[in-house]
């Protein structure tokens, strides 16, 4: 159980506050820029089929992310506790909902995301291998590469958050440089670029109800590309001056990534026609190969590999803190609560996370479109808990009006109303367009109710503590 003296609104912690604003921003950037910008343009373009809707999907993804950060910034500054959304849900609602969200994160969404990005690391290594040797990997080799990536980076995170912070800063710089190089090279390679690609076709043949469905379906991949923006809130107890640095890290990191994403997608279109983007899972490599030849493809494949490698590291670092926070409150596997006596890292949670990611990786590698299947699997489940987390700001203002709020959400309540409306529409479209994967994810989430009933119980707990009342 949590120490009753340490509440959701306190900065007291057993963890080490070794991360400053720079590291927090690097974590936000590293969590967002992973596989998405290099892998999701293909399924998005394949769905929408024209450049106007392609751009709309990316702009909407960025705007929704910014409005989400507006809400999270108030919650993070008010509750600087590790676990991020888990902590917000636990304090706003009955602890069961926070538990179920954590259960879904562990068994459905977050570990699946680790597996998905590890697969993209393997895919871009495969692209590099094809350029150099002309032969692709078989699926077993791809699995072993992703498997090794997950376990190697889990091992790095076992030895203290300071080392992990150094790793995050390094990969944060690499990620910005990689996306920036794609933009720079693409737009300076005039001999291969073509502005006509932006208009061929500009609009769909007709606007019907199915147009709304395909845009909504494409948003799954845009949201995934922007996902992870709340990453710094998971390690709030290891950030210095969290009431100031957490909101700042969200806004600085997200704004920078949105600019890079829009620039990268424009660069892809300048070098490749829409039809070719739709058929290119390794779009960044193809763009650089067109612009610079084989050497360009090799360089960007290496850069993307570094990006995805760093993103897996950041996910492993951040997400394990949620499982540790839940276990600390008596709402998850008890062994996950323990910290390493020397490094103060949640090593049991890290190892359990890696083990389940491996299980999901096995299932993913057996699917024809492994990456898309992973995203479809957890999108509906994640949306439900995102809606509940955003709505927590309304609940918290009613339940705890006198709690210190160093930051207040911009344009509230309209910012909240807008983002809730968008997510609810997105949820309905996701259920329609990815029914079976969504159903599997929701069913697996529901199994958490059984665990909670037998292992935790529906005892009402004091807000912000693990203490029954």
Contacts (Cβ under 8 Å, ≥6 apart) of 253? 25, 27, 28, 29, 32, 229, 232
Kindly give the confidence (pLDDT) of every residue in the chain, 469 residues in length, as a single tens digit, with 9 standing for 90 and above: 444 334 778 777 777 787 788 888 888 887 788 778 888 999 999 999 999 999 999 999 999 999 999 999 999 889 888 777 888 998 999 889 988 988 988 988 888 889 988 988 888 898 888 888 888 898 899 999 999 999 999 988 888 666 666 766 777 788 788 889 999 999 999 889 899 999 989 998 888 888 999 999 999 999 989 987 887 787 788 888 888 888 888 899 899 999 999 999 999 999 999 999 999 888 988 999 999 888 888 888 888 888 888 888 878 887 888 888 888 888 888 899 988 888 788 899 999 999 999 998 988 887 777 677 778 888 899 999 999 999 999 999 999 998 888 889 988 999 999 999 999 999 999 999 989 989 998 998 999 998 888 877 654 444 444 443 3
Ordered structural domains, the chain, with CATH? 21-456 (1.20.1740.10)
Q: Are 423 and 207 in contact (CB under 8 A)?
A: no
Query: How far, in Å, CA of 180 to CA of 285, rounded?
Result: 14
Query: How far, in Å, CA of 396 to CA of 93, rounded?
Result: 9
From the list 100, 72, 68, the residue with the least C-alpha distance to 85 is 72
Helix spans in 272-399 (H)? 274-278, 283-292, 294-328, 347-366, 370-399
Burial class (CB in 10 A: 0-12, 13-18, 19+), 300: buried
Phi, psi torsion values for 420, nearest 5 degrees? -65, -40
Q: Are 38 and 120 in contact (CB under 8 A)?
A: yes
The residue written with tokens 């640095």 in the block is 245
The residue written with tokens 């606007």 in the block is 207
Q: What angle do CA 83, 427, 309 make, to 5 degrees?
A: 50
Q: Are 258 and 244 in contact (CB under 8 A)?
A: no
| DSSP result, 240-298 | SSHHHHHHHHHHHHHHHHHHHHHHHHHHHHHHS-HHHHHT-TTHHHHHHHHHH-HHHHH
Query: How far, in Å, CA of 147 to CA of 122, rounded?
Result: 10
Could you give the C-alpha distances from 226 to 6, 262, 385, in angstroms and in order?
A: 32, 12, 17
pTM: 0.81
The residue written with tokens 């997608």 in the block is 265
């Amino acid at each position: 159980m949590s120490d009753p003296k340490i509440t959701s609104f306190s900065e007291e912690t057993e963890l080490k506050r070794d991360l400053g604003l720079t590291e927090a921003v690097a974590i936000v950037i590293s969590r967002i820029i992973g596989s998405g910008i290099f892998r999701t343009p293909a399924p998005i373009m394949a769905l929408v089929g024209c450049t106007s809707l392609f751009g709309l999907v990316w702009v909407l993804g960025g705007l929704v992310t910014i409005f989400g950060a507006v809400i999270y910034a108030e919650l993070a500054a008010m509750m600087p506790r590790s676990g991020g959304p888990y902590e917000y849900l636990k304090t706003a609602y009955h602890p069961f909902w926070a538990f179920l969200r954590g259960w879904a994160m562990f068994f459905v969404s977050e570990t699946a995301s680790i597996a998905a990005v590890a697969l993209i690391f393997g895919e871009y290594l495969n692209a590099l291998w094809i350029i150099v040797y002309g032969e692709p990997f078989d699926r077993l080799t791809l699995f072993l590469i992703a498997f090794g990536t997950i376990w190697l980076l889990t091992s790095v995170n076992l030895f203290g958050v300071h080392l992990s912070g150094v790793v995050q800063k390094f990969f944060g710089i690499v990620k910005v440089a990689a996306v920036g190089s794609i933009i720079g090279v693409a737009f300076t390679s005039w001999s291969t670029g073509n502005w006509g690609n932006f208009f061929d076709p500009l609009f769909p043949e007709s606007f019907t109800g199915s147009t709304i469905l395909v845009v909504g379906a494409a948003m799954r991949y845009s949201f995934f590309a922007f996902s992870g923006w709340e990453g710094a809130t998971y390690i709030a107890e290891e950030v210095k001056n969290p009431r100031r640095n957490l909101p700042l890290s969200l806004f600085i990191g997200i704004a920078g990534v949105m600019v890079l994403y829009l620039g990268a997608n424009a660069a892809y279109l300048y070098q490749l026609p829409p039809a070719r983007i739709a058929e290119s899972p390794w779009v960044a490599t193809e763009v650089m190969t067109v612009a610079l030849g084989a050497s360009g493809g090799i360089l960007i494949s290496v850069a993307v590999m570094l990006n995805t490698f760093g993103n897996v590291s950041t996910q492993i670092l951040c997400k394990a803190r949620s499982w540790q926070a839940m276990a600390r409150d008596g709402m998850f596997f008890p062994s996950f609560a323990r910290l390493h006596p020397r490094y103060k890292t949640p090593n049991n949670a890290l190892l359990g996370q890696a083990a389940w990611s491996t299980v999901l990786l096995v299932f993913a590698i057996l699917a024809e479109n492994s990456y898309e299947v992973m995203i479809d699997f957890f999108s509906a489940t994640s949306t439900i808990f995102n809606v509940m987390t955003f709505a927590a700001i309304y609940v918290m203002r009613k339940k705890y009006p006198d709690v210190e709020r160093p930051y207040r959400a911009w344009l509230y309540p309209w910012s909240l109303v807008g983002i809730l409306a968008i997510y609810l529409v997105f949820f309905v479209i996701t259920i329609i367009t990815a029914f079976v994967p969504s159903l599997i994810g929701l069913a697996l989430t529901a199994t958490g109710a059984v665990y909670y009933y037998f292992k935790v119980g529906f005892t009402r707990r004091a807000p912000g503590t693990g203490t029954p009342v």
